[in-house]
Amino acid sequence: MRFNTAISTLMTLVNGLFPLGPPSGFELFVTSGGPDSVDALVVDGGHPRATSASGRTTILAVNTGQTDAWPLPAPASRAYRGTVVRVDLRTACAATQLTDAEFAALRIGRPVAALGPVGNRIGLALARDARTLEELRRELMFRSGVPQLGATLQREIFDRADLLRGRRAVARLTQIVTRLPPGRTAERLRYELERMLTSRSEFAESALLDDLRGGGAALTGPHQGAALRLLGASGSAAPERLGLSGATSPGDVEAAARVELARWQRLAANPLSSGDQRQAAAVLVRVCERILARQARSERT
């Protein structure tokens, strides 16, 4: 059998995600736990111990290659705080190893064992239009969800690498400081740590972004979508954060930022808002203020 070892599947996944190797400065670990030395986790959604790791960006990869079941199979169907990506690992594996004979069989409507029930349904439809075996392999890999998982990793982990490392360092420092015996040294360290956190709003923004992506209840409905966009979920440039097109004038960016600023100021000041809502709104107010400050600086130069 081609797919009888976890190593075969793992190597296919890694090669599909990083055809040219992992990004510079990154290391990949395969573990059954959640070591303190990692900044982010990709969790097997079918593993009985799958769980989100507190304080870490977590992506749940659910293998759908054996079934069309959705929503997520247990244990992933439980409340899960993290990004969820559907990945058909069996189809991804088959895509890299499909032979000319199997390609010919698919073209005449004959299923092949390597693809399984889900992959065969996709493969039979694609093979009718595919001109070459390589074309079919590329389409199957795309349909497997592996490239989408790679894009999610790039957006949520690699593009935020320095920030995630900083968050982990702060979390470890916080653990150390809380364990120190009472005294002037411990009090001074607590003060400096708190000052660092308040002076670097990026930490609060990153934590809020991960919380909202994982279904955090601080903001819901239209507020949640607007907050995710403003925090950079769809792109880090100011027009993307504000829901504007790329070819936007500086005046449009400023006007949109002021509209967003007023929205979150109202929510923060609303006496009916919960504590979590006011805290989230305060973070988003700072994002808007930073966008406006950058716009003002760019206009002066």
User: Measured between alpha carbons, how far is 107 from 115 in angstroms, rounded to an integer?
Assistant: 14
User: Residue 169: what pLDDT?
Assistant: 78
* β-bridge pairing 57-63 and 83-87: parallel
pLDDT at 142 over 60: yes
Torsion on CA atoms 204, 210, 214, 218, rounded to nearest 10: 20
User: Measured between alpha carbons, how far is 275 from 119 in angstroms, rounded to an integer?
Assistant: 48
Q: Where are the alpha helices (DSSP H) in the chain?
A: 6-17, 89-97, 100-107, 116-127, 133-143, 146-156, 161-178, 184-199, 201-213, 221-230, 238-241, 250-269, 275-300
User: Residue 74: what pLDDT?
Assistant: 41
pLDDT at 266 over 90: yes
User: Measured between alpha carbons, how far is 285 from 287 in angstroms, rounded to an integer?
Assistant: 5
pLDDT at 53 over 50: no
End-to-end CA distance of the chain: 65
The residue among 25 and 5 whose pLDDT is bigger is 25
The amino acid that residue 137 corresponds to is R
Across 164-175, b (16+ Cβ under 10 Å) vs e yields: bebbbebeeebe
Query: Is the pTM above the cut of 0.85?
Result: no
CB 80 within 8 A of CB 214: yes
User: Residue 11: what pLDDT?
Assistant: 58
User: Residue 4: what pLDDT?
Assistant: 32
* β-bridge pairing 40-44 and 83-87: unpaired
Cβ neighbourhood burial of 301 (10 Å; 0-12, 13-18, 19+): exposed
In the block, tokens 């769980």 appear at 51
Average pLDDT of the chain, as a whole number = 75
Per-residue pLDDT tens over the stretch 208-248: 887 787 677 678 888 888 998 898 887 778 888 988 876 78
Handedness of CA 142, 58, 29, 8 (dihedral sign): negative
Provide CB contacts within 8 A for 207, sequence distance 6+. Answer: 167
